[in-house]
Structure 1
Amino acid sequence: MAECTTLESLMEMGFDRNRAEKAVAHTGNQGIERAMDWLMEHENDPDIDEPYAPPAESVLGSSEQQSSSESVSEPTECMTVFPLQNIEMGQDPKRPMTEEEKKEQIKRLEELMRVKQEERRERERQEEVEREKQRRKQGQELQQIRQKLQDDEMKKLADQRRREKMEDRLAKQRVKERIARDREERARKFGGGSSGTTLSSPTSDTSPQTPPENQGPPPAKKDYDECRIQIRLLDGSALTAVFKAQEPLAAVRVYVQMNSSDGQDFTLLSPYPRRVYTDLDMEKPLRELGLVPSAVLVVTKK
């Protein structure tokens, strides 16, 4: 009848009968404290309120066992209610407890449950503090990893910009050197042939003014390998330079950049016939663009 005592005590303390029966069965009817511990540990279980089905061999047993036990021990049941508490209070264990004794026992059990609940809440609070510490530690480690990846990416971008600037400087240096070589070649070429040009001019004056009647085929078009270009800048000044016919239009653009002080972005165009040169035209040779043997280009704002 100790089981019945534990069950009644739990029900008097406010626990549902179904939960009380489960607590008694799962703790093996080892006392009110064990049953209370089980209830507090499993109060959030999803199946805590499902109907309890005791096994056939359980102490609560089948109806036949209950009826037989009632027929045999019914007189004893009332005398064995709370036997341990009666002994502790110096009472005869065979005497049933009075209402005042039951209330006192319930009060002690409720106090015991309150203490256990406080202990459980303190334990859960400590566990929550530990989880929060772990979460913050993991967050700091993740932030450090992100910062390191960001620093590596910024370093990689800085290295790439330095390489691009170096390559751009080298490209401009190569263009500058090529322009200097072309100037030297033109200076040597035109410097040596100026006298021949001067001497040949009188000969052209003595040639007959009227062509012969039997004029042959027209002379073949001369294939120029150089181009003389006059460039009108934004400030109204002009530059004149000689380029190879096979040089791209980009060489003219670089020449303007090197000899212009405004530093503005610009584009090139031919005034007549009017044509604005695009980025694709910068890779084409001057001969293909029709700028040989001479041309005038105008610098305009982009």
Structure 2
Amino acid sequence: MSTDRDTLLSMGFDPQRVEWALKATGNAGLQPAMDHILEHDGQPVPDLSSVSSAPSRAAPTGDDDDEDAEALRALIAKGGNVAASQAAISEQEARSIKCSLCGKIFKNTALANFHAEKSGHDQFEESTEEVKPLTEEEKKQKLQELREKLAAKRATKSVEEAKEHKANETIRRKAGKDAGQIREELKLKEAEKEAEKKKREKIEDARARAAVKAQIEADKKARAERAAREKAAREGNLVAETAPVTVASPAAAASSATAGRDYKETRLQIRMATAGAGGPYTTSLPSESTLREVAEFVAGQNISVDVESVTFTQQFPRKVFTQADWSKSLRDLGLTPSAVLIAS
């Protein structure tokens, strides 16, 4: 003969939940156990050693009459129906306990207590009706009802989980879209900054190359003039043939100096006089910077350069800068907007 435990396991319930239900209801029967499983569906199974067992008792007969009567009086006292129950006890033997509110009958006080806790009903009385065990057909019907309840509950839970998952997915996609848009905007800004930086560098390099090219042309012209003078001297025609060195007129120099005052920055290219000493070094400094700052820059690039002893030479127009010029600004020295210096 199969037990309540075997029946519940055959329905597919988790063994731990079956043990919990049977212990919590005091092995009061299949229906209380099923009710307990339904009520606590989804809750974690506690440690069974900490679960208090409801009293499990047989129908109130023989020597147990006094105890059952006392338990019944405690239930009936809630509804004030003690006199009626005592009259029923005195007339004939009670075989069950009946709920005065819903009419259900229970074979012992444990089941009545369980019903009271579950439904909130508080009016009970003794009854001579005998609780008959469920037939196989009734058991099958109750099991079918239980399965339908479980299926409906699981379907409802599945729908709720689907809705929650959809809402979470919508939130996740929106967050991902926002983050992607922010990343794209940051990339665009970085690209714009990089393009602007390259544009500035290109302009500065073009200016530097133009200044170097102009300096080279000036060096060539100066060498050609010097060679012509030397040749004329050798031929005895120094006075007649020597071509005058082109020198910027005071008006032109003043105009250049005036134009140079409009530049806030000066781009310099410093070449080392000694071959293999390093360089050339290129930098941009405020036009108000002193020549000493230029010397410190070169010393920072080349450890062989001493700030206190280094000198600078400008090839065209030819000019030598000494430490006496250290405190003068690049604008005052006529080096703006760009110049090529030779450090030695």
| TM-score, normalised with respect to structure 1 | 0.45
Please report the TM-score for the alignment, with normalisation by the length of structure 2: 0.41
